């Protein structure tokens, strides 16, 4: 039996824990001197007298004990740039990967005393280059989620009784052995080993045993589309960094589509107005993150994405290779510019002009289409059209690479197979249904009838981490480990990653691979299985060495990508396409994925819920987005609760009046409305899958005609931003590229001309005070041309600085604790406004108004220009908060930690940052703990802090590289370079507070 | 080294109206005249009593001017100066802290507190010195005549002169002359 | 005002004693008991809420980010303001030889003390960590050299309020001494029947004797005493002006539009006197009715107060106007927005315009009724206006604190302020706390300065004619 789960038991008895600790101390005696010598080398205490020595001994003894006790039995290898043994107070970084249905996310996990405390991007990874999303950072709290399954469970009669996982698996094996018709319903997998383990289980039972579905639909759609148009079922590499002109039809590639973190990095690398800046055009219904960042955005009516694509194709067709292709002609024929305009609600001229632009950029443009919000009941159809366009423009092979695809051997089943499975279940033809981390009851359209169907299955075995909607229908629930607890591997974009556990399972759980191995009856442990049976086919050279290297690096480049020849587009695929031929009447709904919740699989994470939606700034809820005109004509107001109903099914959600939404179109986010996932997620929002359509050709998320009626008013919606107009205050400054070319100061506003000079007192010179007391001058520059508002920085900050989550009611009162927020303003007419984003954290003003007014000196200025905050000197007058022009200070209205935090959630806290008690003010510290850690290192090595070593959490979290922090007193630094740029400006400079944060004017490429 | 008893004596060095005679007077006007007469007669130990302050009585009795205001001035000023110096020392040398880019010695910001301290010291010194000079604080003390705090007026003469002399001194102004018992003598 | 005989009571001194000390020496009336019961309940409710907020945190209040100051600070400024009238009457009018102050200054001073006691509550209970309040006092300590921030207006407040309270208190007490002596000597000829009565009287005798600190009305004492009163008055005058100026600096020295106005100090002082006099008026009207002191607090007194209210009312209105003119003239968009938002003349909704218009009607319009002798000599009218003015002044602070904060520089951080039950509870409880003390005062101490009244009376009789 596997070592993990055995040791897992130790968590349930103290004596056992002690024993374990003792064993470990015996086991590795050589470790303590190592720790100490390390310390001496590092020079952490130059005069290491006997007393100190013993202290350290003692410390390292105990710590080493604890820390080893929590490390897995197999040898796991830390990231090379870090000391190999965990030392008290010194973080260890492990390079690993999150391998799940979304793909492979290379990550770097920061562990302190053997406990992972933060997830960060893996900078060295050839594809991601350290890019992260809010979703990626949130993983740490899912590891420590108190509501996670602590052990497996078995349904005896009505309710569940706990059994340990080993037994559960044994029972499962029994059940399966006896059964004749066994089916597996699962989510996509990017892990070769997992697939292999599984396949040896499936092999015995026929190929159609497993059905793989995609709740959000993004990948399955792309997958199907590729298969139809090129015959190769892959997910290709989109190279947004290679395209001068990007046209996205509904695809939210900066927010939720496929691998947003990678796409964001690629995209932002081209958002430098001084170099060859790219141009982004988006046609979509609900304003997505991508749409909000578009240089030009076309709001189109719900359900008309395909029409727009076809309309565009028609414009481009003439003179192309496909001009005379019958099926192509037939497909696009009805969609003349005028017709398309009539249906989608875009001007005919605009369509023409976009086509013109595209024609100019043959081979240097990229057209992407798809996403949850474009699923129209015919899976992949829109991809086919997009591929046609790209083929016409000759982008395929240039900005779309397919020789080393993102996903090669995808195992998605067709919608038909899914439909069939559900029928079989209905008719009782399924004896055993194994749910592999799938929650179909929650995330399949209600129309599919899964809820009823699953009841007719004799035995349901759920491999799950929560007792979610589907698991609670099961007879046997096998507790699966979190990805940070389990061995795994992943293969994507030609890069093989070995995912190593950074902590032994907190509870009695097992990794999914492990579980499948046992179900398949293979007598091996998963670690060996990965290493011996799989790694070999990707790694080169001596397996042991290569594997170890792969572990420490976190990845191994198995196949290099690069540009490739264009593929032959199968025009025939177009013949099956059916698109609406006239504008839809009445209210039409489109369902979309939200940045913070995604497909809702991690719906029990309070941090995800507290993170405001990037566009609407609403949290703890999904909402019905309607246009202003519709709201007025129906007499709906903010604060109304609406009931949306389609074909007898209905859900209730609050209204939100969304600028840039076409009249007659309504939008609603999926992923909300869990009924049983945990204390946090249950009952938050409404389940939009209730309204989605289902057929054997694919689910329908877009263009659903619905009735809406108001059921309640005075409903309290929690939002972090109630006002969306900038009132011409030049807070987020922006200028068209053309203007910028002439005047680098373009976008600056009139009152900059007469900024105040000195006031009552002479201006304080920091360069002088810095002398001797530390010669740094900390400052930050934020490039608004790059910032997409994706909110990854916000979550990264939450994780680094132990910021508490306050809950819906408190957020409604305006008491969210976020140290940094992303201000979002709308400009222009409400039908199609421009959205602007600006991350705002403490600006560390040189003339900080907050410091003058604090009676107790709790907040004061450091010689290096940091606005320091001494929590235990603060008595909570909140005067500083009042006097802060940026309102970035946060007050602890209630106790947020003491007795509020459930075990094991406390392990997610960063030991380097004080946990603030009730009644004190807190705020962004420019990650002073990181500065000081680096200061120590530098001091002990007798050098200055190097810029590459020091990154604030937000800077590290930013996939767009929009945030740069560093010593602006030093001419060599990147921060200084950015700081000196001419398009830089300081927010509220006219107040004469001299912020240490500079914003770089957002440049918009209007073509 | 001053002993506590001495300090106590010093504080309550009040010419108690014991021994001698007390002449009760009808009205404030008469009291003024009476005081005048007694002074002219060259009586050393004498005092007047009234339920309220009477303007000009001090002149009539030939009392010297009160120097309460000087004390106020001295203490008030010293209070202000001490406060300002203390703040200067703290902000510049004892614990120099950088606030909102202001100079360490941001003297304009010290003015309000300096002012308040001036007032505080001034006021308390005033009250203190009044208690001392007015010889207040001996709670066992009794008024020469009970009606003094209501509607009575009186003159007390401590010099050893006879009742008839006093009667002659203030003829018609008094309604009766009582001998006050002197605890020490009897 | 001239010192002709309009204020003379024309009663022998003995009777003046009887009149003024009647409420102190007789058993409390039913009316008093009811009032006292109400006040005490309200007060207890307040303490309950305060205790609860100490336990769970300030979250029970409506304040948030950006409106981090709410009812508590509004009440603080309001009550400090109330206090000012007392000092004005006892000090400034004294220096100006305003004889009509004589019969109201004792009560007014008492009001000052209790108002400041009420005000002083709020800075304490609005703290996030009240148990750490000692951090704001500068004293040498064991935490290494660590001091308070002398540049902070809040610290200025600590000194201003502290000085103001202690000075007012001694001033008031010293004024009481001769009258307490009177009480002391009246107690000697009291004969209680019951044993309990004897016991209580014994206690009362001792207390009063101690409080009278051996006062025997010697001319030598009167000499210095009179000087002291003069000096304290001279000190209190700049003090009272400074206190509200400093309170106003909490706002004036900030960077928040609608707060950082240079006109604040004089404007706040005027406002303070305005509301203070209104409060004195309210209290006087009640007590002269209840304690039959009509011959002491005459119509003429009330009329004078009415005129002061009219004057200060106009000063306040002037200050409002200036604020708007400056905003308009400044060319500062943010500043202008704040004032448009106050008045509710924007293209979009301004959620707190109503509070501005309440303030406007109460403070700017209502005092002008005082122009008409008929109205300003009509008790009911005076009573109503005095209350209306106080409502208005409370809302003035509401407008300053809330509307300025809820929409400042960054529209992204704009939010609403919605008070909770706790806010309202403490608002009402504060009045309970104030009247609890005031009602005790009128039972325990002479609410009119006996000696001063007698002095004025005598002054009329004496040919020379003197008096204050």
Q: What's the confidence (pLDDT) of residue A28?
A: 44
Cβ contacts (< 8 Å) between B150 and chain C: which residues? 13-14, 17, 182, 185-186
* pLDDT digit string, tens, across residues A570-612: 888 888 888 888 888 899 999 999 999 999 999 999 999 999 9
CB contact (8 A) between residue C69 and residue A878? yes
Q: Are strands A459-464 and A432-436 parallel, antiparallel or unpaired?
A: parallel
For residue A140, pLDDT over 70 is answered with: yes
User: Using a CB-CB distance cutoff of 8 angstroms, which residues of chain A are in contact with residue B97?
Assistant: 857, 860
Task: Give helix A218-230 / helix A381-393 axis angle, nearest 10°.
Answer: 50
Which of C404, C411, C426 has its CA nearest to residue C352?
C404
Spell out the SS3 assignment of A171-216: HHHHHHHHCCCEEEEECCCCCHHHHHHHHHHHHCCCHHHEEECCCC
- Least CB–CB distance from A726: residue in C123, C128, C411: C411
**What DSSP string runs through A782-804?**
EETTT-----HHHHHHHHHTTPP
**CB of C175 within 8 Å of any CB in chain A?**
no
User: What is the average pLDDT score of chain A?
Assistant: 87
| Interchain CB distance below 8 Å, C214 and B136 | yes
CB pairs under 8 A between B and C: 216
**Residue A323 predicted with pLDDT over 90:** no
Tell me if chain C has a CB within 8 Å of the CB of A855. Answer: yes
Neighbouring chains of A at 3+ CB pairs under 8 Å are: B, C
Contact C127 A877 (CB under 8 A): yes
Mutate to test the interface with B, among C140, C147, C150 (most CBs of B within 10 A): C150
CA A193 to mean position of chain CA atoms? 25
A35 pLDDT band, cuts 50/70/90, is: very low
Of C154, C333, C334, the CB nearest to A855: C154
pLDDT band at A41 (very low <50, low <70, confident <90, very high): very low
Q: What is the 3-state secondary structure (H, E, C) of A752-770?
A: HCCCCCCCCCCCCCHHHHH
User: Residue A574 belongs to what H/E stretch?
Assistant: none
Report residue A854's pLDDT band, with 50, 70 and 90 as the boundaries: very high
Give the whole-angstrom CA distance, residue A788 versus residue A550: 33
Pairing status of strand A237-238 against strand A245-249 = unpaired
Query: Following DSSP, what letter does each residue of C120-162 receive, concatenated?
Result: HHHHHHTSSSGGGGGGGS----SSSS----TT-HHHHHHHHHH
| Integer angstrom CA distances of residue C52 from A159, A619, A808, C64, C430 | 42, 29, 23, 18, 16
A851 → chain C, closest CA residue: C152
CB neighbour list of residue C133: distance below 8 Å, 6 or more residues apart: A875, C124, C127
Q: Residue A31's pLDDT is what? A: 41
Asked if B99's CB is within 8 angstroms of A761's CB, the reply is: no
ipTM: 0.91
Mean pLDDT, residues A331-352: 92
| pLDDT of the residue at A65 | 40
Pairs of CB atoms within 8 A across A/C = 166
The predicted structure's pLDDT at residue A886: 95
B18 touches chain C (CB under 8 A): no
Residue A750's pLDDT is 64
Is the CB of C411 less than 8 angstroms away from the CB of A727?
Answer: yes
Of A851, A862, A863, the CB nearest to B100: A851
pLDDT bucket at A1, cuts 50 / 70 / 90: very low
Task: Inform me whether the C-beta atom of residue B103 falls under 8 Å from chain A C-beta atoms.
Answer: yes
**CA dist list (Å): A120 to A792, A800, B134:** 11, 10, 79
What integer pLDDT is reported at residue C257 of this predicted model? 92
Q: Are A921 and A881 in contact, with CB atoms under 8 Å apart?
A: yes
Candidates C460, C25, C24, C31; CA nearest to C286 is: C31
Please give, rounded to a whole number of angstroms, the shortest distance from the CA of B165 to a CA of chain C: 23
Contact of A301 with A665, CB cutoff 8 Å:
yes
Q: Note the pLDDT of residue B178.
A: 84
> In B, residues 165-184, which contact C (CB 8 Å cutoff)?
none
Cis peptide before A674 (omega within 30 of 0): no
What HEC string does chain B produce? Answer: CCCHHHHHHHHCCCCCCCCCEEEEECCHHHHHHHHHHHHHCCCCCEEEECCCCCCCHHHHHCCCCCCHHHHHHHHHHHHHHHHHHHHHHHHHHHCCCECCCCCCCCHHHHHHHHHHHHHHHHHHHHHHHHHHHCCCCCCCCCCCCHHHHCCCEEEEECCCCCHHHHHHHCCCCEEEEEECCCCCCC
Instruction: Please name the residue that has the structure tokens 């002054």.
Output: C459
Q: Where are the beta strands (DSSP E) in C210-364?
A: none
Residue A113 pLDDT: 81
Phi then psi for B19, rounded to 5 degrees? 75, 165
B contact test, residue of C151, C230, C451, C462 with most B CBs within 10 A: C151
**CA A845 from chain center: how many Å?**
31
Query: Touching B: which chains, 3+ CB pairs < 8 A?
Result: A, C
Chain centroid to CA C173? 17
Q: Mean per-residue pLDDT for A342-366?
A: 93
Q: Please report residues of B whose CB lies closer than 8 A to that of A852.
A: 99-100, 102
Write out chain B residues lying below 8 Å of A849, CB-based.
100
Contact: B100, A863; criterion CB under 8 Å: no
pLDDT reported for residue B119:
96
Band (B15; pLDDT cuts 50, 70, 90): low
Partner-chain contact A863 B98, CB within 8 Å: yes
- Cα distance between the two ends of chain B: 35
Q: pLDDT value at position A17?
A: 42
Query: Does A873 contact chain C (CB < 8 Å)?
Result: yes
3-state secondary structure of A87: strand
DSSP state of A97: E
Contact status of B125 with chain C (Cβ, < 8 Å): no
**A182-186, A855-859, C87-91, C211-215: range with lowest mean pLDDT:** C87-91
- Cβ under 8 Å to C: A residues 708-737: 721-729, 731
Examine the pLDDT at A86 and tell me if it is beyond 70: no
Which of A875, A894, A992 has the most C C-beta neighbours within 10 Å, making it the best mutation to test the interface with C?
A875
Give the C-alpha separation, C361 to B171, whole Å: 67
- Asked whether the predicted pLDDT for residue A770 surpasses 50, the reply is no
Token pair belonging to A360:
């100019």
Considering A286-290, A554-558, C143-147, the range whose residues carry the highest mean pLDDT is A286-290
- C-alpha C261/C-alpha C267 separation (Å) is 10
Planar angle of CA A639, A642, A643, nearest 5 degrees:
160
Question: Tens of pLDDT along chain C (468 residues)?
Answer: 334 456 777 788 888 888 888 888 888 889 899 999 999 999 999 999 999 999 999 999 999 999 999 999 999 999 999 998 888 888 888 888 888 888 888 989 999 999 999 999 999 999 999 999 999 999 888 877 889 999 999 999 999 999 999 999 999 999 999 999 999 988 887 788 888 888 988 999 999 999 999 898 888 889 899 999 999 999 999 999 999 999 999 999 999 999 988 999 999 999 999 999 999 999 989 888 888 788 888 888 899 999 999 999 999 999 999 999 999 988 888 999 999 999 999 888 899 999 999 999 999 999 999 999 999 999 999 999 999 999 999 999 999 999 999 999 999 999 999 999 999 999 999 999 999 999 999 989 998 898 988 888 887 766 444 433
Dihedral sign, CA of C179, C184, C186, C187?
Answer: positive
Residue C413 in contact with partner chain A when CB distance is under 8 A: yes
Confidence (pLDDT) at C245: 94
Closest-approach residue (CA) in chain A for B97: A860
Running DSSP on this structure, what letter comes out for residue A845?
Answer: -
Relative to beta strand A921-922, strand A963-967 is unpaired
Q: Are A990 and A756 in contact (CB under 8 A)?
A: yes
Beta bridge partners of A674: A682
In terms of Cα–Cα distance, which of A996, A949, A1000 is closest to A978? A1000
Asked if the Cβ–Cβ distance from A851 to B98 is below 8 Å, we say yes
Q: How far apart are CA C148 and CA C129, in angstroms?
A: 16
CB nearest A860 (choices: B99, B106, B108)? B99
Summarised one tens digit per residue, pLDDT across range A116-129 is 999 999 999 999 99
Minimal C-alpha gap between A911 and chain B (Å) = 28
B90 vs A: CB within 8 A:
no
Cross-chain CB nearest to A814 (options C65, C128, C254): C65
Residues linked to residue A868 through DSSP beta bridges, in sequence order? A860
Chain C interface includes A593 (CB < 8 A): no
DSSP A473: G
A123 is written with which tokens?
A: 């900078």
Judged by DSSP in three states, A885 sits in: coil
* Among C residues 183-242, those touching chain A with beta carbons less than 8 Å apart: none
Taking the Cβ of residue A152 and every Cβ of chain C, the question of whether any pair is shorter than 8 Å is answered with no
Neighbours of chain C (3+ CB pairs under 8 A): A, B
Is the pLDDT at A12 greater than 50, yes or no? no
Closest Cα of chain B to A845: distance in Å? 8
Interface list for A 821-850 with C (CB within 8 A): 821, 823-825, 840, 849
Q: How far is CA A944 from the centre of its chain?
A: 35
pLDDT in tens, A421-454: 999 999 999 999 999 999 999 999 999 999 999 9
In chain B, which residues have their Cβ closer than 8 Å to the Cβ of A857? 97
The pLDDT score that the predictor gives to residue B26 is 85
Residue to mutate among A757, A758, A759, A761, with most B CBs inside 10 A, is: A761
Q: Best of B90, B95, B96, B99 to disrupt the A interface by mutation (most A CBs within 10 Å)?
A: B99
Would you place residue A157 in the very low, low, confident or very high pLDDT band (cuts 50, 70, 90)? confident
A454: its two tokens? 């699953």
């Amino acid at each position: 039996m596997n070592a993990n789960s055995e040791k897992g038991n130790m968590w349930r008895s103290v004596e056992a824990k002690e024993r374990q600790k003792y064993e470990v101390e015996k086991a590795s005696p050589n470790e303590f001197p190592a720790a100490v010598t390390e310390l001496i080398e590092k020079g952490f205490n130059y005069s290491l007298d006997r007393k100190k020595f013993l202290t350290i001994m003692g410390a390292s003894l105990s710590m080493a004990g604890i820390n080893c006790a929590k490390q897995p039995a197999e040898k796991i290898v830390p990231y090379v740039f870090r000391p190999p043994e965990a030392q008290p107070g010194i973080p260890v970084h492990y390079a690993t990967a999150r391998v799940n249905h979304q793909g492979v996310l290379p990550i770097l996990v920061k562990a302190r005393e053997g406990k992972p405390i933060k997830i960060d991007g893996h900078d060295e990874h050839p594809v991601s280059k350290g890019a992260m999303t809010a979703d990626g950072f949130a993983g740490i709290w899912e590891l420590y989620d108190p509501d996670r399954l602590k052990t497996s469970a078995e349904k005896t009669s009505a309710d569940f009784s706990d059994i340990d996982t080993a037994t559960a698996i044994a029972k499962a094996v029994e059940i399966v052995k006896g059964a004749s018709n066994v089916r597996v319903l699962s989510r996509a997998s990017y892990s070769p080993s997992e697939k292999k383990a599984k396949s040896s289980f499936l092999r015995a039972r026929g190929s159609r045993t497993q059905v793989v579905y995609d709740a959000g639909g993004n990948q399955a759609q792309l997958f199907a589309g590729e298969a139809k148009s090129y015959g190769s079922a892959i997910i290709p590499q989109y190279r947004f960094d290679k395209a001068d002109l990007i046209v996205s039809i509904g695809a939210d590639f900066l927010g939720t589509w496929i691998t947003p973190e990678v796409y964001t990095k690629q995209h932002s690398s081209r958002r430098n107005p001084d170099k060859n800046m790219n141009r982004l055009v988006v046609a979509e219904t609900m304003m997505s993150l991508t749409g909000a960042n578009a240089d030009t955005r076309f709001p189109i009516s719900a359900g008309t994405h395909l029409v727009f694509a076809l309309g565009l194709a028609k414009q481009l067709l003439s003179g192309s290779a496909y001009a005379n292709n019958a099926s192509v002609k037939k497909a696009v024929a009805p969609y003349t510019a005028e017709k398309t305009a009539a249906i989608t609600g875009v001007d005919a001229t605009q369509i023409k002009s976009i086509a013109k632009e595209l024609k100019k950029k043959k081979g240097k443009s990229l057209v992407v289409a798809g996403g949850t919000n474009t699923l129209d009941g015919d899976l992949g159809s829109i991809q086919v059209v997009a591929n046609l366009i790209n083929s016409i423009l000759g982008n395929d092979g240039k900005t779309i690479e397919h020789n080393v695809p993102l996903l090669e051997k995808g195992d998605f089943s067709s919608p038909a197979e899914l439909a069939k499975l559900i029928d079989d279940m209905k008719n009782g033809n399924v004896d055993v249904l194994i749910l592999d981390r799938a929650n179909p009851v929650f995330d399949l359209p209600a129309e599919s009838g899964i809820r009823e169907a699953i009841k007719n299955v004799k035995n349901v075995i759920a491999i799950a981490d929560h007792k979610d909607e589907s698991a609670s229908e099961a007879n046997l629930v096998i507790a699966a480990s979190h990805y940070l607890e389990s061995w795994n591997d992943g293969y994507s974009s030609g890069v093989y990653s070995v995912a190593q556990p950074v902590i032994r399972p907190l509870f009695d759980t097992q990794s999914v691979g492990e579980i499948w191995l046992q179900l398949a009856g293979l007598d091996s442990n998963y670690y060996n299985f990965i290493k011996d049976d799989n790694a070999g086919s990707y790694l080169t050279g001596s397996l042991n060495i290569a594997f170890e290297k792969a572990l420490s690096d976190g990845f191994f480049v198995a196949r290099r990508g690069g540009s490739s020849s264009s593929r032959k587009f199968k025009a025939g695929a177009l013949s099956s396409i059916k698109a609406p031929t006239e504008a839809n009447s009445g209210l039409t709904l489109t369902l979309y994925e939200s940045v913070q919740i995604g497909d809702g699989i991690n719906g029990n994470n309070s941090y995800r819920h507290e993170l405001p939606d990037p566009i609407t700034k609403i949290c703890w809820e999904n909402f019905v987005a309607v246009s202003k005109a519709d709201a007025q004509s129906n007499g709906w107001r903010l604060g109304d609760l609406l009931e949306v109903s389609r074909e007898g099914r209905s859900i209730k959600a609050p209204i939100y009046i969304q600028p840039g939404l076409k009249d007659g179109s309504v939008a609603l986010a999926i992923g909300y409305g869990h009924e049983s996932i945990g204390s946090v997620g249950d009952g938050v929002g409404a389940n939009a899958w209730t309204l989605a359509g289902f057929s054997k050709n694919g689910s329908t998320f877009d263009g659903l005609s619905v009735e809406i009626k108001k059921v309640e008013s005075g409903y309290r919606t929690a939002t972090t931003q109630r006002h969306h107009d900038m009132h011409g205050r030049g807070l987020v400054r922006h200028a068209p590229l053309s203007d910028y070319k002439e005047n680098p100061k373009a976008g600056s506003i009139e009152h900059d001309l007469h900024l105040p000079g000195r006031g009552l007192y002479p201006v304080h010179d920091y360069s002088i005070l810095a002398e001797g007391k530390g010669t740094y001058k900390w400052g930050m520059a934020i490039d608004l041309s790059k910032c997409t508002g994706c909110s990854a920085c916000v979550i990264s900050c939450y994780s680094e600085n132990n910021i508490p989550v306050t809950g819906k009611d408190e957020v409604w009162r305006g008491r969210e604790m976020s140290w940094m927020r992303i201000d979002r303003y709308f400009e222009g007419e409400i039908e199609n406004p421009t959205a602007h984003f600006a991350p705002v954290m403490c600006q560390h003003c040189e003339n900080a108004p907050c410091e003058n007014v604090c009676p107790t000196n709790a907040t004061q200025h450091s010689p290096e220009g940091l606005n320091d905050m001494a929590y235990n000197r603060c008595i909570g007058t909140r005067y500083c908060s009042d006097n802060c022009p940026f309102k970035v200070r946060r007050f602890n209205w209630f106790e947020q930690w003491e007795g509020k935090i459930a075990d094991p959630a406390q392990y997610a806290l960063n030991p380097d940052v004080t946990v603030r008690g009730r009644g004190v003010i807190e705020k962004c510290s420019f990650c002073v703990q990181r500065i000081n850690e680096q200061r120590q290192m530098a001091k002990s090595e007798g050098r200055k802090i190097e810029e590459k070593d020091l990154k604030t959490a937000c800077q590290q979290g930013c996939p767009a590289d929009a945030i740069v922090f560093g010593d602006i007193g030093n001419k060599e630094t990147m921060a200084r370079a950015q700081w000196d740029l001419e398009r830089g400006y300081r927010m509220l400079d006219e107040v004469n507070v001299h912020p240490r944060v500079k914003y770089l004017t957002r440049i918009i490429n209007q073509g | 080294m001053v002993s506590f008893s001495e300090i106590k004596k010093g504080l309550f060095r009040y010419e108690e109206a014991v021994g001698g005679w007390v002449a009760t007077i009808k009205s404030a006007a008469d009291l003024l005249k009476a005081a005048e007469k007694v002074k002219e007669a060259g009586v050393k130990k004498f005092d007047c009593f009234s339920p309220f302050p009477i303007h000009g009585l001090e002149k009539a009795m030939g009392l010297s001017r009160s120097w309460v205001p000087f004390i106020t001035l001295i203490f008030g000023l010293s209070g202000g100066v001490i406060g300002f110096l203390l703040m200067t020392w703290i902000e510049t040398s004892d614990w120099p802290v950088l606030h909102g880019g202001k100079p360490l010695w941001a003297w304009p910001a010290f003015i309000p507190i300096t002012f308040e301290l001036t007032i505080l010291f001034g006021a308390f010194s005033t009250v203190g010195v009044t208690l001392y000079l007015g010889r207040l604080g001996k709670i066992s003390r009794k008024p020469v005549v009970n009606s003094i705090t209501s509607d009575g007026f009186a003159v007390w003469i401590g010099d050893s002169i006879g009742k008839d002399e006093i009667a002659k001194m203030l003829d018609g102004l008094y309604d009766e002359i009582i001998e006050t018992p002197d605890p020490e003598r009897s | 005002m001239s010192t002709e005989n309009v204020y003379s009571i024309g009663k022998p001194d003995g009777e003046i004693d009887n009149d003024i000390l009647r409420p102190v020496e007789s058993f409390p009336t039913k009316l008093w008991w009811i009032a006292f019961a109400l006040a005490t309940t309200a007060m207890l409710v307040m303490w309950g809420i305060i205790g609860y907020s100490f336990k769970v945190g300030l979250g029970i209040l409506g304040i948030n980010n950006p409106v981090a100051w709410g009812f508590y600070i509004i009440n603080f400024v309001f009550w400090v303001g109330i206090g000012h009238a007392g000092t004005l009457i006892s000090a400034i009018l004294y220096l100006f030889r305003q004889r009509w102050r004589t019969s109201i200054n004792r009560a007014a001073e008492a009001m000052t003390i209790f108002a400041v006691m009420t005000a002083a509550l709020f800075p304490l209970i609005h703290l996030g960590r009240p148990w750490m309040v000692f951090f704001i006092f500068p004293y040498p300590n064991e935490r290494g050299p660590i001091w308070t921030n002398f540049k902070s207006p809040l610290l200025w407040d600590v000194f201003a309020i502290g000085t103001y309270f202690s000075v007012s208190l001694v001033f008031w007490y010293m004024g009481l001494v001769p009258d307490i002596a009177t009480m002391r000597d009246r107690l000697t000829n009291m004969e209680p029947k019951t044993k309990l009565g004897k016991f209580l009287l014994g206690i009362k005798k001792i207390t009063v004797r101690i409080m009278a600190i051996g006062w025997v009305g010697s001319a030598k004492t009167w000499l210095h005493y009179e000087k002291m009163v003069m000096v304290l008055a001279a000190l209190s005058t700049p003090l009272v002006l400074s206190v509200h100026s400093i309170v106003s600096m909490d706002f004036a020295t900030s960077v928040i539009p609608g707060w950082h106005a240079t006109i604040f100090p004089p404007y706040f002082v005027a406002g303070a006197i305005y509301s203070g006099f209104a409060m004195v008026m309210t209290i006087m009207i009640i007590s002269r009715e209840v304690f039959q002191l009509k011959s002491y607090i005459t119509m003429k007194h009330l009329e004078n107060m009415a005129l002061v209210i009219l004057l200060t009312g106009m000063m306040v209105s002037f200050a409002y106007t200036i604020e708007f003119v400056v905003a308009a003239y400044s060319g500062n968009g943010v500043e202008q927005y704040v004032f448009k938002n106050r008045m509710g003349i924007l293209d979009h909704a301004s959620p707190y315009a109503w509070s501005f218009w309440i303030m406007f009607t109460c403070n700017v319009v209502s005092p002008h009724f005082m122009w008409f002798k008929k109205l300003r000599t009509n008790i009911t009218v005076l009573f109503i206006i005095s209350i209306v003015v106080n409502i208005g002044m409370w809302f003035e602070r509401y407008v300053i604190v809330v509307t300025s904060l809820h929409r400042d520089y960054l529209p992204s951080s704009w939010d609403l302020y919605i008070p909770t039950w706790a806010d309202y509870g403490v608002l009402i409880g504060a009045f309970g706390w104030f009247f609890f003390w005031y009602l005790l005062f009128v039972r325990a101490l002479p609410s009119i300065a006996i000696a001063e009244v007698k002095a004025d009376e005598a002054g009329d009789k004496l040919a020379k004619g003197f008096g204050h």
